[in-house]
Structure 1
Amino acid sequence: MVDALDDAVPLPGGRITKKVVRIADTVRRPASAASPFVADLLGLLEKRGFTGAPRCLGRDDVGRDIFSYVPGWVPPRFQQWTDTQVAAAGALVRDMHDATRGSLLAGRHQVVCHNDLGPNNTVFQDGHPVAFIDFDTAAPGSPLEDLGYMAWVWCVSSKAEAPPVEVQAAQVRVLVDAYGLGGPEREVLVDAMLERQSRNARFWAEVQADPGDVEVSREQVAERIAWSRREHAHTVGNRRVFESALS
């Protein structure tokens, strides 16, 4: 049965996937090429006891993927977070990664990565991150792919009103300490941050050339490219500060 218009509550905030709605205690999203992998991943996380993700509930009769609704607050934009919040996010992603280690989905890779673990894909309850959502970009990979991105978007900012870079670097350390990252991987975290910043600029440049199904204005795309490049320059310019905090 097609849901009645007044039963479907649009869920705002998606930068890529549009037409996401909540119906009762479920979330409905347009199916995509990623849907089978996402269903398998969420099933694996559930089987292995990870509670910080929605449950996949199949498809409705209009072909949308159905997920359990995780109650809480999803930040509409990036902002400054406390060390306690950042540490909780680091511990949460470690639990998620650990639940995928040695699985068929991870294959020859260390873990399955979410690949878009910004605060905007995180559910907060009582001020603390408790779950990740929107697994459309999930894929096998290295923990550094998620941690490099998280270190950037949770802790680092080139904005004039952002905390001093020493404070940002200390918070990156909080994140990786909570995750338990050590050894050679810790030494190359800054490179992982830079790669994710470059990748973000490349992604939006590709969207600029061919928007496809991405519903975003040319002005928004241009700003996201410029922002990614500013963030990359900020990280490069303060590389020694970040590396010192991690050593």
Structure 2
Amino acid sequence: MDDVQPDEEPLSGGNVSIGVVRVGDTVRRPAGPWTPAVHALLTHLHEVGFPGAPRPLGIDDRGREVLTFVPGAVVWPDHFALLDPVHRLARVARLIRDFHDAVQGFVPPADACWRVFIPADGADIIAHHDLAPWNLVVNGDQEWVFIDWDGAGPGTRLWDVAYALHGFVPLSAHPTWQRDDAAMRLRIFADAYGLDEAQRQCLAPLLSQRTRAMHDFLRQQAIDGVQPWARLWHEGHGDAWRSDAEYIEQYEQLWFGALMS
């Protein structure tokens, strides 16, 4: 980044981190039309006592959004072991449930503009849409915080949960990440979140639908030449999401059984 100032530390990691820097105890990120709505959401979460999100601090003199810096390690890919033993996976599920409960009372601004890339299966809450290990910062047994709220917008609890299960179980076809205990971890997550029977029945087919939606989104962005998604498609991310969706579909009855047992 040629325009990084001497007091700014570029933050890498993730797939969309261009222009993200640390300045002292703050993070500066490029702002957009969605930023006021996202800041209203984060302010609400802070005011109702939800600890799992950064606090918005406004806009700096360069037009960038300012957020509190969250110390710790991003879980994916190098620190996934932080989610073992399984009580830590359960903690992730409870954190997501706490977020969904906290956001239930949020009233978006009348002129809210959201940056949702993939339309959800409904709109009963303002969802995060990217609750995944690459957006979870873990600071020991203390502060666990989800970052990257730019894609927040109308969605549903199960849409968020289905996506989270893909990443946190994980439900992956890749031999490095595929786990023999995936069904058990899925059940632990569902129990810790507190899914009721009706939600569990709906969730099993949603797991593959949500995963395949990511493949289809990246494919369309590549066709349209939209960056950085087109780059990710050509780097093979689309193939990975498709393989994961096929794996989830292949074992759908296993997931359903784990959820309902």
**TM-score w.r.t. length of structure 2:** 0.85
Q: Which moved more, 1:71-80 or 1:139-148?
A: 71-80
Alignment match, 1:187: 201
Q: 1:114 aligns with which of 110, 128, 147?
A: 128
The alpha carbon displacement at 1:188 in A equals 1.5
Q: Which runs of 5+ in 1 are unaligned?
A: none
The alpha carbon displacement at 1:217 in A equals 3.2
RMSD: 2.3
Q: 1:163 aligns with which of 179, 184, 188?
A: 179
Say if 2:52 is the partner of 1:52: yes
Is this contact kept in 2: 1:85–1:127, CA < 8 A?
no
Q: Which moved more, 1:127-136 or 1:23-32?
A: 127-136
The alpha carbon displacement at 1:44 in A equals 0.7
Alignment match, 2:117: none
Alignment match, 1:28: 28
Is this contact kept in 1: 2:132–2:164, CA < 8 A?
yes
Q: Which moved more, 1:19-28 or 1:195-204?
A: 195-204
Q: What SS does the aligned partner of 1:27 have?
A: strand
Deviation string for 1:107-164 (max 9, x for gaps)? 9943221000111101101167711010011112210111000111111111224222
Equivalent residues in 2 for 1:126-165 (5 A)?
A: 126=140, 130-155=144-169, 156-161=171-176, 162-164=178-180
Equivalent residues in 2 for 1:193-212 (5 A)?
A: 193-212=207-226
Distance change in 2, residues 1:39/1:74 (3 Å): same
Alignment match, 2:19: 19
The alpha carbon displacement at 1:206 in A equals 2.0
Q: 2:107 aligns with which of 99, 104, 108?
A: 104
Q: 1:92 aligns with which of 95, 113, 123?
A: 95
Identity of aligned residues (%): 32
Q: 2:238 aligns with which of 219, 222, 225?
A: 225
Is this contact kept in 1: 2:22–2:69, CA < 8 A?
yes
Q: What SS does the aligned partner of 1:115 have?
A: coil
Is this contact kept in 2: 1:102–1:110, CA < 8 A?
no
The alpha carbon displacement at 1:195 in A equals 1.7
Is this contact kept in 2: 1:98–1:111, CA < 8 A?
no
Deviation string for 1:207-230 (max 9, x for gaps)? 212343427636x53511111111
- Aligned partner letter, 1:194: S
| C-alpha separation in 2, matches of 1:4 and 1:210 | 30
Q: Which moved more, 1:116-125 or 1:4-13?
A: 4-13
Alignment match, 2:255: 242
Q: What SS does the aligned partner of 1:207 have?
A: helix
| C-alpha separation in 2, matches of 1:215 and 1:206 | 9
- Aligned partner letter, 2:42: L
Is this contact kept in 1: 2:221–2:230, CA < 8 A?
no
- Aligned partner letter, 1:94: R
Q: Which runs of 5+ in 2 are unaligned?
A: 111-121
- Aligned partner letter, 2:57: L
